[in-house]
Every structure is written in structure tokens, then in C-alpha cells.
A and B are shown apart, each in its own frame.
Chain A
Amino acid sequence: MDVKRRNEKDMKKLMPLAASIALILMASLFASAGSMAYFSDPETSNGNTFTATSLDLNVDYGDINVVKFTVINMRPGNQPKATFTLTNVGAIDGFLDLESIVVTSFENGRLDPEKEAGDITAGNPGKGKGELQDVVNLRLFIDYGGDGWISTGDITFFNGLVNTLPGNFELDEPINFGSTTYITALFDWWSTSNDNLAMTDSMVIDIGFELAQTTGQ
């Protein structure tokens, strides 16, 4: 009897402690939920990333416009190329698209061999009247090694004459924060019978690189 009473007494003694601990545990549960939300690394939820930080893309290690290539004496048989280094310097992952791709041609005056070849568009600079984009082929590829050449695993997303280049590519290529990917533009001027048409002609190529938090933007 005595032992039982004492046990009951001890139990009663412990009750407030147990209740208090239960209360604090319950509070901690919600507090840790809040803490998890507060401290968690950026997580993807349904395509959106919840974060208070930002997304920042660098092209060739900077935020300023990059003039990537200036080829002044392109001839049939030449194969110039340029590799863009695209780095996600923000704090969250992003998806890369190419957009606002614009090719502007210039005639830069017609030389006799051009006329001879049948070039009927004149002008100097003759914006929109050049023929270079009709004879030069372009290959655009995600260049995982960044070596400038199409290697195993690289993804070629365009291969055609420059004049068929679309205005944008929804690549949805993921670039995790802190990571770098490369896109190489490989131009080929394979000799054709129309080459003389393009003599002295030029083309100005503008490319926009968009890093977006979601795909489909």
C-alpha cells in the first residue's frame, strides 16, 4: 500500500513536468516547421522556386554586352566559331533559352563579280540587302565540354543556313546556380556557285540569352 501510494505521489509529482515538456515539444514542432522554411535551401515546388534571392546570368563572365565575334574577311571554305560561356552567378537554378535572335544583312556596295553573279540588290551599306546569310551555314550547339567542337553528348539545336535561323530557341537547358554551360556557334561557308553574290556582304547577329526561373518563359 505504502509503495503504491508513493508511486502515485511520484507520478503526480512528474505530471507538471510531463505537461510542460509536451507543450514545449508541440511548440517546437511548429517552430521547426517555420525554421525549416526560413533556413531551407532553395527548393523547387511545382516549377517555381521559393527564394528571396535572385537570378543572374553572366555571358563570358560579365553582365555587359559581349561582342563575341568580328570576322572581317570571311571567304568560301572558312569556318569561324565562337563559344559563349554562360554562368549562373545567381543563387538559384535557372533554365536557359535563346531569344531575340536577329540577323541583319548588309550589301556594302556591289562589286562587279556580285553583279556578274546576278546580285540585283544594291546599296551601301544596303541594310537587309546582303546575301551572306544565304550562303553561310550555322550550327548552334550546347557545348558541354566548352571545346568549341561538336563532341559526343553535345546537343546541336540548329543546323542550317543563317537565313533560316529562328528568333528564339526554347532550350530549357538547366543551369544550376554556380554552374556554367557553353553554347558554340560554328559557321561554315561551304563553297557554292552563289558565293560571288555575297562578296563584301556582311551580317550582324544579335543573340539574347535568357536565364529564367521556370521553363516555358
Chain B
Amino acid sequence: MLRGKVKALSLVAKAVLVLVCLVLIIPGVIRLYPSLIGADDSYIVLGGSMEPTLSPGDLTFTEKVETAEIDVGNIVAVKTDSGIYTHRVIEKAESDEGILFRLKGDANEDPDSSYVNGSEIIGKTSFSLPMGYLFTKTGYILAVAAPLMLLAVAQAVKINRLYDTRKRRRGGLKAILLGKGGRRRRKFSILDTTSILLLLILVAGGTNMMAPYFISGGGSFFTDTESSTSNIIRAATWMVSSSITCSASPNPTVNLGENVTVLGSIIPARSGVAVTLTYGWNGTTMTRTVETNGDGAYYDIFTPNEVGFWTIKASWEGDSSYFGASSNIVTVSVSELMEE
């Protein structure tokens, strides 16, 4: 009874081991010969930018398709100067240079910075195998750690029995390795089915896990873009200098009682602003205010009431944009009207 159960259990265990073996070996074989499943190329994903769709270590298979057949949403393998990578198409645009594609890694916040040309696309990813699972803790335990431990324990048990229980039978190395000859050979063969399967799992697992380190390209890549936007530089307002001109006519002499026309302008032209004219005679001054016209020009008509030298000066106070200014002093000589 017990013997039967042990036998059944051992069969189940072996079946599981065979299954694990196949799961590890088949992807390795079709990676090398993608045509076996009708694909054109195979790639190992090297980066995590396509998570959760594709993880590092995953196997992808691509088929060559016409550029026109690639649509938004497809995952494509692209060959650029910096290597081969696999990202998803998020935009398809016509241009003078042909059809351009905008790609993005599913795990990336932002699209790839440059567009890729249809000619750079190697193929559309038609199929993928989650071999990246090997790089997870459970995957590693299942494919590497547990088989090695089981193998070591099984061998230790065997050796222990062999030497301590004196059940060894004659038959030499052949009997020990292959279990041939001798009556109770099975117990003492080193290379039994279980050990061979465990070894195969380790060979396939180790090879698969090392594969990404020996291939070039085929990855996807991470990017992260952060921005600094709305940085503002604003120019201040500042006061600009101005000037004002002043001239008088007639000049330099005028007869007492005659009108003197004083005129000038503010440069740059300021319209409707007050210009102060200061008339000085013999130490006394008098001011008059006039307004500029649309061209920034002003004028005043003034009749001197004393004989002598009169000084005339124009000035304005300035405004929000311009500093005020004063003109040069104009001197007019007023003389008695000569009656002849």
C-alpha cells in the first residue's frame, strides 16, 4: 500500500519536473529559432519601461509588417543608433519623410522625445513570453534555488545510504552511475531520472537567466521627464531721458513793445503736457505755463515790458516714462524803440 503511494507520488513529482523542464527549455529554443512559431525575430526585454505589459527578461517575438499596417496601440521593436528597443506606438503621423511614429514605454510618464521613422521599425511584437518571471523571487526559487537544493539533498541522502548502510553492490562505476548490474541498483545510481531532470532545469534556468547579459539590444528603456515651466522674466519700466528745445524770435534784439514768439518742443514728443517758461529780467522772474500740442511742440507770445536783457528758459517736469528736462537759456535784448 505504502509502496504504491510512494511510487505514485514519485511519478507526480517527476511529471512536475518534466513540465518545469519543458517550460524552461522550449522558450530558449524558440528564442534561437523564432521561425518555429512563425515569428521573424526574437528579443529579450532589457528594461522595465514597458511594465506591466513587458517585464525585463521577457521574450518578445516580432513579425515584419508594412509600415502602413502598424497602428496606434501596437508594440514595436525599433532599431536606432543607440540600440534596439521595444515601445508602444501612441501616435502615427504623415510627413514628407514618410510615416512617423511617436512611441512611449507603458511605464514611462512621457513619450520618447523623438519620432521614429517607419523604416526604423524592425517589426510588430506579435507574441511574448513572460520569462522575466525568472527574475522574480518565486521564479528564481522555482528554477534555480529549489532544484539545486533538492539535487544536493537527494545526492547527500544517496551517498549517506551508500556508505553507511553498506548496501552497495558490486558492479563498478557503471552500476553506480546508471544503476546497471547488482540487485538493488536503483537506490545507488547517482544519475537517476530525478537528478537528471533537476540538472536539466538548472541548466535551462541558468542559461535563460544569463541570456540577457549576452545579447545586444532588444531592450526597452526608461525615461523620466520633469519640467520647470512658467519661469518668468519680466522687464521693469524705467525712466527715459527727454530734452526740450526753446527759441525766440525776433532774436537777438527786439524793440520794446514788440511781441516775442517763444517756441520749441519736447523730444520725444509729449502731447498735452505743461511746459513752464521762465522769463527773467534784472533779477526778477516770471513764469508762464503753456501746453504742448500733438507733436510735442509749444509756443508762447510774450511782450517784454522793460528794456534790457531778458532770459527765457523752457522746462517740463516729466511723466511716468520720461524724466523732465530744461532747455538752454535764450537771451533776448530789448531796446527802446528809436523814434526818428
* Total contacting residues, chain B, CB less than 8 A: 82
Q: Which residues of A contact B218 (CB under 8 A)?
A: 48
B162-184 interface (Cβ within 8 A of A): 162-163, 168, 172-173, 176-177
Closest partner residue, chain B, to A202 (CB atom): B234
A210–B225 CB distance below 8 A: yes
B97-120 interface (Cβ within 8 A of A): 107, 110, 112-114
B246 adjacent to chain A (CB < 8 Å): no
A51–B321 CB distance below 8 A: no
The docked-state distance in angstroms from the alpha carbon of A8 to that of B46 is: 54
The docked-state distance in angstroms from the alpha carbon of A49 to that of B168 is: 53
**Chain B interface SS verdict (over half):** mixed
Q: Can you list, as one digit per residue, whether each of A30-53 has a CB less than 8 Å from chain B (1) or not (0)?
A: 111111111000010111111111
A192 adjacent to chain B (CB < 8 Å): no
Closest partner residue, chain B, to A29 (CB atom): B206
B82–A58 CB distance below 8 A: no
Q: Which residues of A contact B145 (CB under 8 A)?
A: 31, 35
B305 adjacent to chain A (CB < 8 Å): no
Candidate in B188, B210, B216, B240 with the most chain A CB atoms within 10 angstroms: B240
Q: Which residues of B contact A205 (CB under 8 A)?
A: 231-233
Q: Known interface pairs A30-B205, A213-B221. Does A48 touch B227 (Cβ–Cβ under 8 Å)?
A: no
A150 adjacent to chain B (CB < 8 Å): no
B155 adjacent to chain A (CB < 8 Å): yes
Q: Which residues of A contact B333 (CB under 8 A)?
A: none
Q: Which residues of A contact B238 (CB under 8 A)?
A: 75, 199
B236 adjacent to chain A (CB < 8 Å): yes
A210–B224 CB distance below 8 A: yes
Closest partner residue, chain B, to A215 (CB atom): B82
Contact of B233 among A30, A56, A67, A132 (CB under 8 A): A132
B135–A54 CB distance below 8 A: no
B223–A55 CB distance below 8 A: yes
B121-159 interface (Cβ within 8 A of A): 132, 134-135, 140, 143-145, 147-148, 151-152, 155, 158-159
A204 adjacent to chain B (CB < 8 Å): yes
B199-220 interface (Cβ within 8 A of A): 199, 202-203, 205-210, 212-213, 215-219
B230-247 interface (Cβ within 8 A of A): 230-238, 240
